[in-house]
Structure 1
Amino acid sequence: MTSKPKLAAPAFTRIGGLAAIAFAALIVLANVIMIPAGLPLTGADIGEVTAFFATERLAVGIGSALTPAAWILATLFGAGALAALWRLERGRREAWSLAGLAGLVLQNVTFAGVVAARLALTSTASHDRSATTALWALHDALFTLNGTFLALALVGLSIGGRRTGLIPPWHGVLGLVAAALQFSSATLAYWVIGNGGVLGLLGLLGWLMWVVWLVAYGAVLIRHDLETPGRVRIAV
């Protein structure tokens, strides 16, 4: 029987890269749906919150429907980055990629609380002001503190990527600056929630940089798979 070369299935790193880009697309899409509909900013007046969640239930429902897939994609991205970095890191007795994956998993858990609060607000906004006030306060706290875990993911995968040579210097710097902004917002959560304003821009700017960082990391992982030797196997 004649043997012929056959392309191997995509490596897990490529799957992780595609997941990173799809994750970035989903979180941007969710915001494109929610923000034009009038999603209140952190620290918004309770009257604005009540009006939004009482009248924009469909927007909240669609935005929430996108998040389970986004959490799975985020985890696949972290695992793909770990697959690319772990062998080299282990030789150096380092584990930055593990820290990055832990950050992604923890932000999934925390943001599940944010989405749960939003869904609950669609039920309380029309008839229970006290419950709405409490849920919105919880929502704002979880949303702002989530910057801690985004910062951990950014730091872990940026440092791991730079020390193994996986990502270029500008990419690592972008990740660390975004991490600093996210962590600053989480650290100042009490004042961000109470005052918003300029402090609220810390988390927003860090989030925008996080999205760019995600897409760039996804492209790196895809390219890493395509450039890895041994991507051809023989089928008999």
Structure 2
Amino acid sequence: MTRKTKSAEPAAASFSRTSGLAAIGFATMIVLGNVILVPAGLPHGGARPEDVVAFFSTQSGVLGLASALTPAAWALATVFGAGAVAAARRSEPGRGDAWSLVGFAGLVLQNATFTGLIAVRFALAAAAPHDAATTAVFWTLHQALLSLNGTFLALALVGLTVSGRRAGLLRRWHAAIGMVAAALQFTSATLTPLIVTGYGLLGLIGLTGWLIWVVWLVAYGVRLIRARPEHAVD
């Protein structure tokens, strides 16, 4: 082993731990955002127009507080993705690279989609007190973005699950729940036309996938913190 390789190992291990903490931090941020918004009455899919107007007319402070968490969440998601890609490349050169990049692309695209979604929420807060018709249009856009984002979450889940498993980073159960969450998220995205036109209960498919995604994220973070590239797992 060369001196260069020896000196690179501590840096790689340090970034792996950092990216693992970023995964847990990202999961924490997105859960906190929902803990703030849901009890305040954030409308669900299929909500009545008057409920949407009432929430966005009166809860701008809550909306602002939850939105303040999102820049940190996006930064943490990016660091996590970079760490997962690095772990796959370090552990299995030439095997996990392409799938890990698919996963990283999914994370970047979900960041971009949620940037638009947060912007739409601010537009809703501005329009709701004055124009119910405009509010209805923005709400449909909001729901469409939220549901279609399942496509990118599915890409992140599949890409990082396959690369993580091939690299010996993920256990079988971890890979299994990642694929289940990906299937649920992609199904929800496919059903977007129904979800935004009154079949709001179908959004529970995406919600279930999202909850599994949070568990998958935290478990992935723990694996990155504890990762030893030379050791495979069952």
Q: TM-score, normalised by structure 1?
A: 0.89
CA contact (8 A) 1:151 1:183 kept: yes
Q: Which amino acid aligns with 2:24?
A: I
1:149 aligns with 152
Within 1, Cα distance between the matches of 2:144 and 2:201? 17
Deviation at 1:46, TM superposition (A): 1.3
SS of corresponding position for 2:42: coil
Deviation at 1:89, TM superposition (A): 4.3
Within 2, Cα distance between the matches of 1:50 and 1:71? 28
Task: State whether structure 2 residue 98 is matched by structure 1 residue 95.
Answer: yes
Once the two structures are superposed, residues 128-155 of structure 1 have per-residue CA deviations (whole angstroms, 9 ceiling, x without a partner) of: 1122111111101101000000000000
CA contact (8 A) 2:85 2:97 kept: no
Find the partner of 1:135 among 127, 134, 138.
138
Query: Matched residues, percent identical?
Result: 60
Task: State whether structure 2 residue 46 is matched by structure 1 residue 43.
Answer: yes
Find the partner of 1:200 among 203, 206, 211.
203
Structure 2: give runs of 5+ residues left out of the alignment: 1-9
Within 1, Cα distance between the matches of 2:226 and 2:135? 47
Task: State whether structure 2 residue 224 is matched by structure 1 residue 221.
Answer: yes
Mark the CA change 1:22 to 1:134 in structure 2 (over 3 Å): closer, same or farther: same
CA contact (8 A) 1:86 1:95 kept: no
Find the partner of 2:82 among 70, 79, 90.
79
Runs of 4 or more off by more than 4 Å in structure 1? Answer: none
Find the partner of 1:163 among 166, 186, 190.
166
Q: Which amino acid aligns with 1:204?
A: L
Q: Which amino acid aligns with 2:165?
A: R
Mark the CA change 1:165 to 1:37 in structure 2 (over 3 Å): closer, same or farther: same
* More contact order relative to length (CA 8 Å, sep ≥ 6): 1
* Structure having the higher Rg: 1
Task: State whether structure 2 residue 175 is matched by structure 1 residue 172.
Answer: yes
Q: CA RMSD in A?
A: 1.7
CA contact (8 A) 2:91 2:229 kept: no
Within 2, Cα distance between the matches of 1:93 and 1:159? 7
Within 1, Cα distance between the matches of 2:85 and 2:117? 27
Q: Which amino acid aligns with 2:164?
A: G
CA contact (8 A) 1:18 1:222 kept: yes
